Amino acid sequence: MRRFAFAGASACLCCSPALRAPSASSSSSLPLSSSLRSEFGTHSGHLVMSRRFKASYIRVANRKRVEMFLAKRFHLPTRLKTAAPEIAAEWDHEKNPMHLYPEIVGIGHVTPVWWRCVACQHSFLMSVEKRVVRGGGCPACAAAKAAGGGREEESTLEGERNPDLRPKRPVMFNLRTKY
């Protein structure tokens, strides 16, 4: 663990110029550098920051401890309101608890919450993850669509019509030539 600090002595709270009452000669008559010096640092003009930074470490394959560096990463939005605003508009504010709302709930939230369908105004219970990631929708609209859908086109196979017949993951072919 290392401690990093900027150059300069730490300022005492009782004699800090930033905490003293303003005098008759305000900072408007002083040059800009001295007014910044009196507000942000010590008498010598150095900015003092007493914050400790802790390096984080990971263990690699050869069991050596390697220090990780912090880098800027571009993250995809994970909050429901920013990631899927059209789904967040269907949030049922009356039935959900007050501490849950689309601005703070993530798209991977697996606890069921209440939704209100825009088309049929049916209120239903479904997880955020199932709605956003897996594409679930209103069960009443899905049942009405399945009942009134009629005959599908003849070019679809049995596995394409029934999702339960599809394999869970794609089949990998074995490329070995010897047994």
Residue 8 maps to a domain: yes
Burial class (CB in 10 A: 0-12, 13-18, 19+), 164: exposed
pLDDT digits (tens, 9 = 90+) for 43-61: 555 545 444 555 555 555 6
Neighbour-count burial for 123-150, b at 16+ CB within 10 Å, e otherwise = ebebbbbebbeeebbbeeeeeeeeeeee
pLDDT digits (tens, 9 = 90+) for 114-134: 999 999 999 999 999 899 888
Question: What is the per-residue pLDDT for 134?
Answer: 84
Question: What is the per-residue pLDDT for 96?
Answer: 94
Residues in the chain predicted with pLDDT less than 70, given as ranges, are 1-76, 149-179
Last residue of a domain, one of 71, 101, 119: 71
User: Which structural domain range is residue 139 located in?
Assistant: 80-148
pTM greater than 0.75 (yes/no) = no
Question: What is the Cα–Cα distance from 118 to 124, expressed in whole angstroms?
Answer: 12
Asked whether residue 93 falls in the same domain as residue 143, the answer is yes
The number of distinct structural domains making up the chain is 2
Q: Residue 158 is encoded by which pair of tokens?
A: 């049995």
